[in-house]
Amino acid sequence: MATMQDNAAWSGRFNEPVAELVKRYTASVDFDQRLALVDIQGSLAHAQMLAECAIISTQDLQDIRRGLAQIENEVISGDFDWQLDLEDVHLNIEKRLTTLVGDAGKRLHTGRSRNDQVATDIRLYLRHEIDNLVALLKNLQTALLDLAEPNTHTILPGFTHLQVAQPVSFAHHLMAYFEMLQRDTERFVDARRRVNRLPLGAAALTGTSYPIKRERVAELLGFEAVCQNSLDAVSDRDFAIEFTAAAALVMTHLSRLSEELILWMSPRFGFIDIADRFCTGSSIMPQKKNPDVPELVRGKTGRVNGHLVALLTLMKGQPLAYNKDNQEDKEPLFDTVDTLTQTLRIYADMMRGITVKPDAMRAAALQGYATATDLADYLVKKGLPFRDAHEAVALAVRHAEQKGCDLAELKLDELQQFSALITDDIYGVLTLEGSLAARNHTGGTAPQQVTAAIARARKLLAG
């Protein structure tokens, strides 16, 4: 029989070593080593439970704790020697532990498999990252509030179909993104509940014959519950897919805001300026100031959306229970976490570096007959059916367009050609400020309502 390398945990079954190409193709240690600290955390809890259940001795537990403490220090300091031959983070740590403490290290794997071990590691990792992302989302929401608060009376043209529709408070526009990010936060918090369930103890797929106490491990690791079916515990990654879906929605929301920032910064709009530190120039055109950060956010949104599709595709054809396919869950998940973390950090800073140009916004809001709906509402309040009011205002707009002026610039007798119900009080209705003030209800763009919304939002974040 051929001699096998003694560092493979499963080598006794085989009579020839793994080919070098296969070894490189199947190894995951290059990327899953980021799970090292949570792998140690899970192992410590598992070892304590084994000792409490008298499956390993108290001395074994002490030796395991001592060895894992040294390994943790080596990982943190960057001195740990990761070996491709050992395939993954789990076998690298186990081999090092055995080198340090002998047989106690070999006993650590009693009652568990790499299948439930990696599922536990990913959940521990993701739980921590969700907490970080929720904090980053709140920081970005605070940046939005800080920009919105002094701009409750700043008037921006609101668009539908990218055509001027109605005047809107710039702060109200920003608060729309606050609401989106709040739902994103809620999705992460809700997903965390399903992440926070312990697979350890499911072993390879059917559980273990050792008298373990899974609930004790859950308690030690801060899990809210244990996975109730061993097959499900090791084989599904729906919690990772759910997380990535939530992340894709955050990126989609930020991509929409990015598109607006890019448009608003264009000289054709000129509504805002983004601080120089978030922009770049051109190698050939010296006048250029390019909004690279929001452009990259748009691009990276496609990247995260792609990871969601990759994970869904990864899972769709797998029979129960664990399959090697699931090694491919980590890179898209890790990159999603990294991309979203970096994006939220830079976005909050960028929002704090935005300069608002209210005069340009106001001038744009005066184009496109943004108060036409207010004229229609005025007529309805005077007793005209809405459809008749709509037609009358449409004719008035056509008339103003032919004259090259705004509705508010038409004389009273001109407006009265379209409805005798119009009196001189119409000019207060046709102002931009009058249009905003008229939307004075919950969720409306009236400055009074927007100020109240900002106050509610700050209270929400403080809670």
Q: Report, as residue numbers or ranges, the catalytic residues.
A: 161, 282
- For CA atoms 140, 142, 143, 148, the dihedral sign is positive
Q: At what angle do helices 330-352 and 292-316 cross, to 10 degrees?
A: 160
Amino acid making up residue 226: V
Measured in residues, the chain has a length of 463
Q: Which helix (H) or strand (E) holds 347?
A: helix 330-352
CA triple 97-100-105, angle to 5 deg = 40
Pairwise CA distance, residues 224 & 119, whole Å: 16
Amino acid at 125: Y
B/e letters for 162-194, b = 16+ CB within 10 Å, e = fewer, are eebbbbbbbbbbbbebbebbbebbebbeebbee
Token couple for 239: 């919690």
* Count of H-run helices and E-run strands, the chain: 20, 6
- Count the Cβ atoms, other than its own, within 10 Å of residue 206: 12
Note whether 197 and 215 are within 8 A (CB).
no
Dihedral sign computed on CA atoms, order 311, 316, 318, 321: positive
Question: C-alpha distances in angstroms, 250 versus 177, 224, 354?
Answer: 10, 26, 21
**d(C-alpha 361, C-alpha 153), whole Å:** 11
